[in-house]
A and B are shown apart, each in its own frame.
Chain A
Amino acid sequence: MEKKNKKLIKQNNVLIRILSKDSVRLLILFALLIFTVISGKFPYVNLIANHYFYGIGVAMVLALLFFKQYFNERRNKIILICEIAIAVVVKIMGNQQVEDIVGFILFVTLLLIVILGIASQRSKLALYLKK
């Protein structure tokens, strides 16, 4: 039993160690994105082929969780401004498919910022309501 527990702990340690590496996390994200975007090649990919938006959404949420420490206020602003700039360019180009993806990414980005805002400000906001 003890031996088994030790093995488990060891396995967990390996997993945590692997996951703690940014490069591995990044790899996971890319793998997920590639998996979602490829369509029509394999039957299991086909299942989500028409719903790759959700894959992108999940990847974005994972990215936020994996690299939270890198997202400071300044970087957030830069990311947002970049996305808006890209959106304007895409809008001028007028490619509907690209527009759809950029619009969705923008939507999720803004949504994440709002959700994080609520999560971080919740106690203050609750206090404001109680006044």
Chain B
Amino acid sequence: MKKQTFIHLLIIASIGLLPLLWFTSGTLILGHDAGLPFDPMTHFLDRLYVWTQRFGMGSDQSSALLGAVFIHGIEALLNLLPISLQMQQKIQFVFWFTLPGITMYIFTSKIWPEKKYLPVVASVIYMLNYYLLQGWFIAERTKFSTYAALPLAMYFILFYLQKKMKLLPAVLGAGLTLSILNGAGSFPLYGGLLIAIGISYLFILLLSPNIKTLLRIFYLSVGVGVVYVILNAYWLFPYFSYVTSFYGRDLAMAGGPDGVLNWASYLTLHTTFLNLFFGQGVPDWYLNKFHAYSGIVLSNSLFSFFSGLLLLFLSISLVVKKSTKDNFYILLFWIITFVAIIFSAGPSSPFGFIYEFCVRYVPGFAMFRSSYYKFNYAMWFGFSVLIAFSLDHILTWIHKTKNTKILIIVCMLLLTGYLGYHYTVMTGGFFDYNREPNHQLSNRITVPQYVFDFGKWVNTQNVDTRYLILPDINDSGYISYKWGYWSLATINSLQNRSSFIQNNSLIPERERKEIKQMSQALLNGEIDSFLDYVSLFGVDKIVLQNDVDWDNASWISTNPENYRNIIEGSKIFKKEREFGKWAVYSIEGSKKLRVSASPSVNYLEGSLRDIVSFKDFDATVPLYIAGESAEKDLYYLNQSSNKYISADCIECDGIETGFKFEFYNPKILPNSPLYFLVREKEDKVEKSANDFESKVNFYLTTSDRRAIEIKWMKDTGEKSAIPETIHRYKNSLSALENLISKGGSPSDYEKNNSTFQAVNGHLQKQQELLGSLGDDKEFIEVSEMLNKLIKTTDGLKFITRQLNQKRFIINAPIEDVYKIYVNHPGNDSQPDVQSPVLTVDGASQLFVGQEGRWSNFGEVALSKGQHKIELTESTIKNLVTERVTFPFGEGGINSSNNIYTFTSDSIGKCIAFHIPDQSITTDQSYLISFAYRNNNGPLTLLAFVSPDKNLSSPHILDTKLKSSSDWSSFTYLVTPAVKNTTFNICNPNLEGEKASKTRAIAEISQVKVERITYPSILLFKKRDVSVLADIKTAYRKLDPVTYSISTSGSTGPASIAMREYYGKNWSLCDEKEICSPPNDKSHFASAGYANGWYFEDGLSRLVTLRFQSQGLYVKGAFLSIAGYIISVMILIIWKKRIKS
């Protein structure tokens, strides 16, 4: 090794040791998106299977970084050494910190072996910059992997295209590089790589536009592609299978191209060209007000000056004299930099249309939705080389003056200056990603020993034991512990192989809600409901974590103490183990239900919360929930023994469902010569509207447009076309009136309801719009028409605003006589119900009796189709007491006959309404409502003030009352975060507003706070299957993707449920290894989530459940291993040949 190379490597290695400074005593880097495991070996082994239990009830990880074998392999290898987890992290961080420097060094020293300073300078810049540092706060190894691969891959590609290397070594070299440093199989991370390679191809084609160049590019691309596919086959095969099935769904979940563009625009708001040229523009710097270091970097002039120096050095590379070779590379790197800047800046930049075009029209491009993070490393690839080139030029010039002292001083200044510019890297301060006072968050934490002890213990337990983690977490999905861990990922997903369920954000939304309901059932003391959930979800044990940061205002959840009181107060839970603040409880009498079989299958239309605790519901029997497909619904309806049909409550919470009405710029107004285009378009739509829905939609849209046109014309003073527009507006309203008077679909109440609701809402908005134009005569007639229509649709809606008079629509799937039940909330001993009244299609049902929380209303004969149900509950009452207080003084507030008047002297004053202490809880929703009259614009705001907060002024919620000269009602749905016993209605002192005597006077009356209840109404039909013998099962989970099950066998109908998430690639194979095909109607989502199978012809004695994608993984793995061996052998032989 040359002395110069040795010194260069020494400098790179020294900087590579910086991660050693990041760890203070006993700390580890964990949390946020880091994905760093608590138990690296378990985590690694889990990645060898396509199916994992880490996320709740199991999930297909084909698309979830299955290619991270090398990244987690390094972690697992280090885990084998007898060193602490902290030391393991130190070693791997040093490795990942140094690797980009090494690959850049190889690249630049191969291109410019004659340049003394360039390789080392480029390496230092490439391994230490703010783009990479932003990734370091979550130790983003996947990103570092592709980042480090880029220079090496470019070396092989450029050298082959310049004929300095043969095809075979280039293909193998690039293929191996991209396979080992594969970004864990995350394709979005390839954005920068694709830019660099694509631009290189185009640049070389531009300079040498002939068929030979084209062929070389073709051979190279195909060769690298083939090697890449072979070496990555182990994850690519299952990934490809996943993508072909779910890309459309995933894109839709991201909101389609518009959703992607909105997200990218939001993210790159400050990723401007200038910021990028200054090496800044990192989205987190601007979006996170409490970012670890961006405040200093952005506001300190010295930092701005230093980043300006980067730009200066960057530009020098363009203007200094160069050889042709230098020119070739410098121009190439500049173009790579430009294109990377354009794509990093996303859709908001002046060249954003290119990114937008790609998102809309290039298939798969939507995966680069976080444009900055996916493309910007190509810019830093260019920056590193270009800045290094300029500095090399300057340093070589100094070197030529033979003034060694100055050279050393300049070198030292540059290095220390550069390190100083990235000062946070010296301390690891960038891990402290939120410095908000009292809400500091960091990924550098000290983990209590009991967390590791628990992890070790669980990993020695039966792998198919399922644990329910309590307490439940906030809807934000944030998981936070008092000792500092904060992430969306549960700790158990990073240290265990068993199944842990919790309502976290890594599981589907529906299951998340149901798991939350399960926890709530326990919290409410509804033990029978909870036990049904336990059976449905196959839960075996409970883990109660008492160290959860539950009372943080940003992710407030339930106090673990509440759960502890209920669990320890009940005889069915038994404490099994305790690890510091974590306790494990077993559930007495719960059967191990990971796999169960039955001679029948049940059918449900509705959700699980509608049937849990129902006495005729057996949660161990596989349950088909309607909605998978019309064909399957009909099949299981006919095959099922018990049928449960639940009713939909229409706006049970008393809040009107929103509808979409947007005031927009009509662009072409009726007085425009181009208006014929609008007319033509409307005529066309009218002709194509054939059914009730589309006709209503048409007249509603056109009436909206007319109202907006009138408003627009009036505002801009172009009034000439207003009379004609009013005439056309009236025509639309008349047509709408005619249509509505005929009614909607005769039996589709649900559809009618939503249609009339939308019409009602739109017309109200139109009225508001026209009302704001004044009381001109021309509008009065339209206003009257609108009023009439609003009243008509009000009457047609099957909705009540009375919380104790609930309305439901139920869909009877077949004509039959059903039993009808009503379920009321409340705990087992005190059902919260008193003589409810029920009517079905207007006819009263006789109350037969109370069975726990269920009210039996006998039988009802229903025809097939929808039916209207009304339920009157007498227990719903106003919780507000008559006592009112005035926390900020009474001056200016008058009261008479329960009407409270805010006069102009009441600014800053509130009326506090009181609720008895026991009446309000944090896990319930409440509806606050009152009537008000308010003459001159927004005045009164609503605020919750906890009595113990002792606030000096009203704490204001962002809820203004609209102006209304008539008495109007105001409703507000709230789930109290803390147990409030008062709430205030205030006349706030708005910021910047001067107190004025002309301020409006508001009157408030009929103040109510009512608890929201969600009763379930259930139709039940039972078919007697007692003659069928039970099917007994015993099973063994052979590995994460295989269950071996022996059954008592059956020749009659049989169903089987395996309680891991439904995946179409799970199949059931009999003794002869004949497996059920995917998408077969026999396979369904039992209870909406688990794998269920139903066979009319019985079940064999020995069956195997397999996740079929694992076969693809295994085949791919064999191919990859063979590919690696052959590639390495070829390279060795080639190297030997060169030597000889």
Contact = CB atoms under 8 A, between A and B. Distances in A.
B139 interface: no
B162 interface: yes
Nearest to B335: A114
B327 A125 contact: yes
A73 interface: yes
Interface residues of A, number: 39
Given A76-B319, A84-B311, A113-B318, A125 B328 contact: yes
B274 A102 contact: yes
B378 to A, nearest CB: 16
Contacts of A54: 350
Interface stretch (B123-131, B302-310, B571-579, B654-662): B302-310
A121 B331 contact: yes
Interface stretch (A5-13, A15-23, A27-35, A104-112): A104-112
B785 to A, nearest CB: 35
A127 B327 CA distance: 12
Interface in A82-131: 84, 87-88, 90-92, 94, 96, 99-100, 102-104, 106-107, 110-111, 113-114, 117-118, 121-122, 124-130
B896 interface: no
A99 B274 contact: yes
Contacts of A130: 208
B460 interface: no
B204 interface: yes
Contacts of A111: 338
A64 B728 CA distance: 55
A121 B203 CA distance: 13
B207 interface: yes
Nearest to B278: A91
Centre residue among B206, B276, B311 by max chain A CB count within 10 A: B311
B207 A87 contact: no
B274 A106 contact: yes
A66 interface: no
A77 to B, nearest CB: 5
Interface in A44-102: 51, 53-54, 57, 73, 76-77, 80-81, 84, 87-88, 90-92, 94, 96, 99-100, 102
B173 to A, nearest CB: 20
Contact of A129 (B305, B308, B311, B328): B328
Nearest to A99: B274
B272 A99 contact: yes
Interface string B192-227: 000000000000101110000000000000000000
Given A87-B311, A126-B207, A114 B334 contact: yes
A95 B338 CA distance: 23
For the residues of B in contact with A, the DSSP-based class is: helix
A121 B324 contact: yes
Given A114-B318, A117-B318, A91 B334 contact: no
Contact of B331 (A81, A104, A114, A127): A114
B1062 to A, nearest CB: 48
Contact of B274 (A100, A117, A129): A100
Contacts of B273: 100, 103-104, 106-107
A103 B272 contact: yes
A130 B879 CA distance: 88
A110 B315 contact: yes
Interface string B274-287: 11111000000000
Nearest to B311: A84
Interface in B313-330: 315, 318-319, 324-325, 327-328
B277 A103 contact: yes
Interface string B259-280: 0000000000010111111100
B309 to A, nearest CB: 9
A91 B331 contact: no
Contacts of B162: 129
A124 B204 contact: no
B217 to A, nearest CB: 13
A110 B304 CA distance: 20
Given A91-B278, A99-B274, A124-B324, A107 B319 contact: no
B301 interface: yes
A128 B328 contact: yes
B312 interface: yes
B274 A90 contact: yes
B318 A88 contact: no
Given A103-B274, A103-B277, A91 B207 contact: no
Nearest to A90: B274
B308 A91 contact: yes
B324 A107 contact: no
B596 to A, nearest CB: 62
Nearest to B270: A96
B122 interface: no
A103 B331 CA distance: 20
Contacts of A114: 318, 331, 334-335, 338
A106 B318 CA distance: 13
A88 B310 CA distance: 11
B208 A126 contact: yes
B341 interface: yes
A128 B325 contact: yes
Nearest to A52: B350
A127 B383 CA distance: 26
Contacts of A103: 272-277
Nearest to A76: B319
Interface string B611-626: 0000000000000000
Contact of A127 (B204, B272, B324): B324
A72 to B, nearest CB: 12
A91 B304 contact: yes
B331 A128 contact: no
A48 B307 CA distance: 33
Nearest to B341: A107
A80 B315 contact: yes
A51 B312 CA distance: 28
Given A57-B350, A91-B308, A129-B162, A99 B275 contact: yes
B162 to A, nearest CB: 6
B345 to A, nearest CB: 9
A81 B335 CA distance: 20
A104 to B, nearest CB: 5
Contacts of B208: 126, 129-130
Nearest to B213: A129
B85 to A, nearest CB: 42
25 contacts: A51-B350, A77-B319, A81-B312, A84-B311, A84-B315, A87-B277, A87-B278, A88-B308, A88-B311, A90-B274, A91-B274, A91-B278, A100-B274, A103-B273, A107-B277, A107-B338, A110-B334, A111-B338, A114-B338, A124-B327, A125-B324, A128-B324, A129-B162, A129-B204, A129-B208
Interface of B: 162, 204, 206-208, 270, 272-278, 298-299, 301, 304-305, 307-308, 311-312, 315, 318-319, 324-325, 327-328, 331, 334-335, 338, 341, 350
The 6 A-B pairs of least Cβ separation, nearest first, read A103-B274, A103-B273, A88-B308, A53-B350, A128-B324, A107-B273
Given A81-B312, A125-B327, 19 more contacts: A53-B350, A77-B319, A80-B318, A80-B319, A84-B311, A88-B308, A88-B311, A92-B304, A94-B298, A99-B275, A102-B274, A107-B277, A113-B318, A113-B319, A114-B335, A121-B331, A126-B207, A127-B324, A129-B207
